[in-house]
Structure 1
């Protein structure tokens, strides 16, 4: 009886610790020190948000982890700060500057190419998956398009949240587009911004359908993979890790493209239709895509021996783990089949053995080791990795917030 009681007490202590949250608070003022009531305070990539009171104060309850905090108020420049939450309350203050762009100063010029630019943005930002077909941008007029005819690059920015209604997953996504750039010559796309998620209102039947689709979107994703990697439940969750060995010619080519095009960006490389795509976790919501060379004469050998997580994953501290490896990780997800649209639209499915036909396969390239990641699947330094394959195919339309909890967990 004493042993049973002791076990129950231990379990109760564990539940309390697992649910423990820490207070993040502060004040938001203008440059004259005046408080700014009604300022929106958003946790990027989560379903967490609040607003300041009449004295410009805010407070959020967060679990231990690394967060991007975004604040925005109409008439002021949006700003963000990164904060690490451990086991002590954190005070984080903001000073907002007034926006230099005044409505009276704006001259709206009709652009006959705007629709074309908008379609390009939708393709490379929201995506082309089945879920993307059920996404709608509610205020695309806030997007500013700038096309450089000489460089043949399209740049898109916004000073306000782009509102995306995702009726496939039941989310309203507020996304502040810091920068989106597409190069028509090199077919490289780069984007960076800060998303926040809200649940759409719906009937009980709609919510049940959304729950199923959210689970499908999460299952097999990079977020799911790194969460399983942290918890050492890779095989139970349906993942198999092999190693892909490429020849040095291909490796040098990829490195040279990245160094030439990415520069100092904190970047993520994604696969786009008709291109060779790399990708990294969406936690920073930054992306760069590199076109596939027209004639690649290199070879790649797949080692089907399973890589054990004990040799791949190393503890950094209680909240963070890290990975470092050579060559390329070949990640197989066995519990879902790949979308028919993946092969049809992307034009270049990942090479695979015949027994893995229609299996979701993603590749992880290590560029700046090591990569650090958290229990919820978020990655501290996404620039450390580049993705290819299925993880690069799914974009904003197939994303779920970082505080998403899969059914049964």
Structure 2
């Protein structure tokens, strides 16, 4: 199932990023009075602070790049503002609107299938990897689920946040503003929001070492690892091979699909010949995937401007990315795409992923995040990785861990 990129962004080991100072004040949006002891955090990081009695906050040192600054306070809606951190100090004013009528604005329909819908949500949100099996949602009753049978679509949200305790990586993730959508017909999953990470306290030195090793494992071969290697001209050195994957429409699909739908609309008992036709028509793929065996050169995947200060991900068709240095999770079982038939299935002993751009080019920012993360589709192994492998933007593995 394809996934819209929402948050998987990390840093390369030893990355020398610039630092910037961020400060500001949190206020009531109506009275402009300061809000003391409000929570302020940078989404997708472990960076969070509490405002003073005067409602002020300071992040003295933030790695350069783009962030969502989020403020939270009991009885108020979240306030969010996008910033780009550079060398110059920045100051923000975050104004929170009272949420007295918020619950009244939410319409919750009866859901007799909540148990099965919730299990589908868990599988698609947490994932099915070894690390995902060690994740749990601490506040399941706060998850609002709705299934639309007409659209064949499952959506999930929360009044405040969804808390995921990841015992494999040692993180407690509070996912504010979750918007989760799974369309089962199109086989596409999208989820995004403003998560904040909190370090869990290990019970022993052994557990601390296990968390460190698991974080490195989650990092190696990840999409963010790939993005950083592209930005820093280290793709081959970091163990990645990229190949062009061209998806060609199947001219037989439209007539076969039309004939199948026309027969199904009759809603009657079908003869043996008609049943055979339905099976044959259903097996016709919409398109074919043609894989070019020659590896792509780094400069064919990116557009570098401003003397190397700005790097954009840019390539034609789709991209198949293979990570050579670490194999896939034991629970990963590659599935053939329902949208395109390939001549050869990907190898079982490699992390093989597919990347699709939804716009001509997307900037890779200094902190490893994409300027527009929702403009990318991922499939294959990267689509398999979910919350079990979710690491904060400011995570940096040990320098010796760039290779296993």
- SS of alignment partner, residue 93 of structure 1: strand
Inter-partner Cα distance in structure 1 for 2:205 and 2:147:
45
Written as runs of structure 1 = structure 2, the 5 A alignment for 1:62-73 is 62-73=62-73
Report the counterpart of residue 138 of structure 1 in structure 2. Answer: 138
The yes-or-no answer on 1:117 pairing with 2:107 is no
Written as runs of structure 1 = structure 2, the 5 A alignment for 1:247-258 is 247-249=248-250
Query: Which ranges of structure 2 fall in alignment gaps of 5 or more residues?
Result: 1-14, 255-281
TM-score using structure 1 length:
0.78
Structure 1 residue runs of 4+, over 6 Å off? Answer: 102-110
Inter-partner Cα distance in structure 2 for 1:184 and 1:303:
30
**Aligned length, in residue pairs:** 352
Written as runs of structure 1 = structure 2, the 5 A alignment for 1:158-173 is 158-173=158-173
The yes-or-no answer on 1:320 pairing with 2:318 is no
Of the structure 1 ranges 101-110 and 230-239, higher mean CA displacement relative to structure 2 is found in 101-110
The yes-or-no answer on 1:38 pairing with 2:28 is no
The yes-or-no answer on 1:382 pairing with 2:373 is yes
When residues 163 and 319 of structure 1 are mapped into structure 2, their CA distance, relative to the original with a 3 A threshold, is farther
Of the structure 1 ranges 100-109 and 62-71, higher mean CA displacement relative to structure 2 is found in 100-109
When residues 354 and 80 of structure 1 are mapped into structure 2, their CA distance, relative to the original with a 3 A threshold, is closer
Alignment counterpart, residue 309 of structure 1, candidates 298, 309, 313: 298
How far off its partner does 1:67 sit?
0.5
1:102-124 residue CA offsets vs partner (Å, 9 max, x unmatched): 78999999854332222122111
When residues 370 and 53 of structure 1 are mapped into structure 2, their CA distance, relative to the original with a 3 A threshold, is same
- SS of alignment partner, residue 224 of structure 1: helix
Instruction: Give the structure with the larger helix fraction.
Output: 1
How far off its partner does 1:163 sit?
1.2
1:256-290 residue CA offsets vs partner (Å, 9 max, x unmatched): xxxxxxxxxxxxxxxxxxxxxxxxxxxxxxxxxxx
- Computed over aligned residues only, the root mean square deviation of the Cα atoms, in angstroms, reads 3.0
How far off its partner does 1:52 sit?
0.6
Report the counterpart of residue 335 of structure 1 in structure 2. Answer: 325
Alpha carbons 2:300, 2:314 under 8 Å: kept: no
Higher-Rg member (1/2): 2
When residues 190 and 384 of structure 1 are mapped into structure 2, their CA distance, relative to the original with a 3 A threshold, is closer
Report the counterpart of residue 404 of structure 1 in structure 2. Answer: 395
Alpha carbons 1:69, 1:82 under 8 Å: kept: yes
Inter-partner Cα distance in structure 1 for 2:293 and 2:151:
44
The yes-or-no answer on 1:299 pairing with 2:288 is yes
1:204-258 residue CA offsets vs partner (Å, 9 max, x unmatched): 11011111111111100000001111111111111111112222449x99xxxxx
When residues 58 and 330 of structure 1 are mapped into structure 2, their CA distance, relative to the original with a 3 A threshold, is same
Inter-partner Cα distance in structure 2 for 1:151 and 1:243:
33
Of the structure 1 ranges 383-392 and 81-90, higher mean CA displacement relative to structure 2 is found in 383-392
Query: Which ranges of structure 1 fall in alignment gaps of 5 or more residues?
Result: 1-16, 254-292
Where relative contact order (Cα < 8 A, 6+ residues apart) is larger, the structure is: 2
How far off its partner does 1:145 sit?
2.6
Inter-partner Cα distance in structure 2 for 1:79 and 1:171:
24
How far off its partner does 1:299 sit?
2.8
Written as runs of structure 1 = structure 2, the 5 A alignment for 1:229-308 is 229-249=230-250, 295-296=284-285, 298-308=287-297
The yes-or-no answer on 1:223 pairing with 2:249 is no
Inter-partner Cα distance in structure 2 for 1:351 and 1:335:
24
- SS of alignment partner, residue 359 of structure 2: coil
- SS of alignment partner, residue 208 of structure 2: helix
Inter-partner Cα distance in structure 1 for 2:245 and 2:18:
40
TM-score using structure 2 length:
0.79
1:58-111 residue CA offsets vs partner (Å, 9 max, x unmatched): 111212211111111111001211111122111111111111347899999985
